Every structure is written in structure tokens, then in C-alpha cells.
Amino acid sequence: MALSDPTCKNAKPKEKPYKLADEKGLYLLVKPNGSKYFRFKFRFAGHEKVLALGVYPEIGLKQARDKRDEARKQLDSGIDPSLTRKIEKTGSAENTFAAIAKEFMAAKPNWSESHRKHVNECFERDVFPWLGNRPLKDLSAVEVLATLRRIVDRGAIETAARTKQFIGQAIRYGIATGRAERDVTADLRGALPSPVRGHYPAITEPKPLGQLLRDIDAYKGGFVVRTALQLQPLIFARPANLAAAEWAEFDLEAAEWRIASDKMKMKDAHIVPLSTQAIALLRDIQPLTGNQQYVFASNQGQNGEKHISRESIGMAIRRMGYQGQHTAHGFRTTASTLLHEQGFHSDMIERQLAHAERNRVKAAYNRAQHLAERRKMMQSWADYLDGLKNGAQVIAFKKAG
């Protein structure tokens, strides 16, 4: 039964504290000394929490319910009301964009670890150096646009669009927690080049593909990025997965790369059979990074706790003069196109691309049935690429039986 004003007023103290329940998590806590406190019980990120709403009768029942409803709205928006209260007490010291962006990320417990890392990397690399120390309430659309244009200028249009989205999410979190009044990214509609959705430039003709492979081998950049460049055509993984590949995921004796479901776009664990050429590249880089977490460890981190950016491969391809012709993600289109032309079964190719199968029964069948065939397909594909790279006559390679 819901509380009433007379019930609150007439509640008498007892030997031990006790609660009088209202609705939707609100209750009145009555202490042995006669003090009465409104409390709101809620769950956030799987943990039970309690928010103090005030002392009765200074705070009446209606006011307590209004505060409870306000807290419930914050919960619906994925915000911890107790964190908001803490922010209110600490004042402006934590009102910079960087501080609020970090709180925003912490308030998203259901994010996958790979997505959390990606958002954090975008902030740390492209936003915090220019906007991190700015008070959120003073942030202007002009400042945000200047920051995003730095990303566009290096050719990373998709990343600029995603970063604008992340900045807007952090600002809206700041609005919800009372430290900003409006989302200035809304003023930037149309100010950035529009990324082409659903299409990545890709070379799908054998002869220019052979030239690209030769250019990759001759790439003058760092050894770590060059090795990632050389591996990508062989395995045609998503660039983010390759950049974040960990040595613990590889079994070189079994010739497999096993990627956990929380790293995959479709949340489905994935196995990549490794050709002899792919294993040779991994063994070549192993003396350099094999004692670290990541295969493609970044020299910006310490002891390999950071890896190269998901953009590193694409940036290298652009530096080689393939802007608008090919991308790191484009190797997936290249492989899909040519493997289909060579007669490999669509289910096998789609499974190797880690595209989701909507029919769960069929998906389980595909996982069970196609690994052995995919091993043969990946080795045939690697041999075919070697032939193109070495300038051999371009002929259709035979499907491994």
C-alpha cells in the first residue's frame, strides 16, 4: 500500500530502524531516535543502490516522489542517479569535457569491451588533446568542428563521423547530469563530408590486385604496420579485429586464430584458419611482440598494452596512393568477389567473413560443417595471391576438393 501524509506523520520510532514502503522503490526510513528519511532503492549495472532524497518533514511525500521520478528518468537514460548526486556535490572541478566523457563511458556497463576501447581510443587520440580541458558548458560548435576537421584532413571520414557521434553522446550525458544545456554537435549537421555507407572501395581485378600486393611488400612504414598490411589480404578480417589481435588468441600449431564473441561485430565467436603464408608472417613478428599482449603492439604504449589503431592499415594504403581505390575493409570485398568467381560455396565464404546467419539452426550447421573446407579455401586463396604477387599468368585457381 502506498504511503500517505498521515502515515508518514504518525510513524512512531521503534527499538530498531524500520521501513515504510511507498511505490516504485521509494520508502520512509524511521530511526529509533524518531528521525525520518526518504530513500529510493534501485538497481544499476546489476547492483542494488540507495539514494537519499531528504529528511521528513522538511521534504514532504510529494517532493520525495518527484525526486524519485526524476531519478527513474535518469535510470531510463542509462545514468546512475547516485553518480549525478556525487557530481552535484563536487562542484565544477569535474566539469571538463574529458572528465564528463570518462563518466559517460563508465555509465555504460553493457558496452562490449571492444566498443569501449574504440570509443576511448577516439577520445584519447582525436578529442582530448584539443577539447579535454574545456568546461563542457563553454564548449562551442566551432571548437568541435575544428577538432573533427583534423580527422577529415587525414582522410578518415568514417572516423570523423563516428567521433562526432561519440562527442554528442558525451555532451548529452552532461546535459542529463546538469552540467550542460545543449548539444552543440546538433549545429554541425552537413558540416562534414558524408561517409559512403555500405560501400568500401575495393580492387577486385587480378592484375591491379597483384600490383597492390607488391606495393604492400615494398611499404616503407613501420615493420608492425607492414606486417598487418601483409596479413590482411590473407585473412580479410575486419580491420578492428586485426588491429586488436592478441597472441593468446592464436594457436600456430593448429593454424587457427580464435576470436571471442565479445570482440566480434555480430557477437558470435569466430575461427580464422591460417594459411602457411599467414603463419610465416606471424612467426616473423613473434620475436618482436610475442612477449606482449597484442600481435600488433603500438610503440605508443608500454609493454604492449596498446595496439595499432584500426585506421593504421587504411592510412598506410592511402599513403601508397590508393586513396579512393582500395581500403583495409575492401580486402573483404576483394576476397568475397574473387572467391565467389572461383566457385567456392557462398555459405563457406560468408562464414569466413563472419557475416551473421539469421537462421540459428543453419548457423550452428555452418559452424560445424565448414571449418575443414574453409581451411582448404584459405590456403588456396593465399596461394592464389602469391601467384598474383609474383606476376604469374592470371588464371582461375581451382577450388580445393
Catalytic residue among 65, 332, 351, 370: 332
* Torsion angle defined by CA atoms of residues 13, 15, 17 and 21, in that order, rounded to the nearest 10 degrees: -60
Catalytic residue among 36, 329, 370, 374: 329
Give the C-alpha separation, 237 to 259, whole Å.
11
Catalytic residue among 43, 355, 362, 398: 355
Residue 300, CA distances (Å) to 75, 150, 247 in order: 37, 20, 19
- Can you spell out the DSSP letters for 300-335? TSSTT-SB--TTHHHHHHIIIIITTT--TTHHHHHH
Give the C-alpha separation, 153 to 192, whole Å.
11
Catalytic residue among 238, 310, 318, 326: 238
Catalytic residue among 265, 345, 367, 375: 265
Give the C-alpha separation, 160 to 148, whole Å.
6
For the chain, the straight-line distance linking the first and the last C-alpha, in angstroms and rounded, comes to 72
Catalytic residue among 9, 31, 365, 398: 365
* Strand order from edge to edge, sheet including 250-251: 250-251, 256-259, 270-273
C-beta of residue 143 within 8 angstroms of C-beta of residue 157:
no
Say whether 226 is catalytic: no
**Grid-cell match 524519485, residue found:** 68
212 φ/ψ angles, rounded to the nearest 5 degrees: -60, -45
C-alpha cell recorded at residue 3: 504511503
Give the C-alpha separation, 258 to 255, whole Å.
10
Say whether 39 is catalytic: no
Say whether 329 is catalytic: yes
Say whether 355 is catalytic: yes
Run of H or E including 26: strand 26-30
Say whether 47 is catalytic: no
Give the Cβ contact number of residue 347 at 10 Å: 15
Say whether 398 is catalytic: no
Give the C-alpha separation, 42 to 114, whole Å.
28
C-beta of residue 221 within 8 angstroms of C-beta of residue 319:
yes
Residues assigned a catalytic role = 238, 265, 329, 332, 355, 365
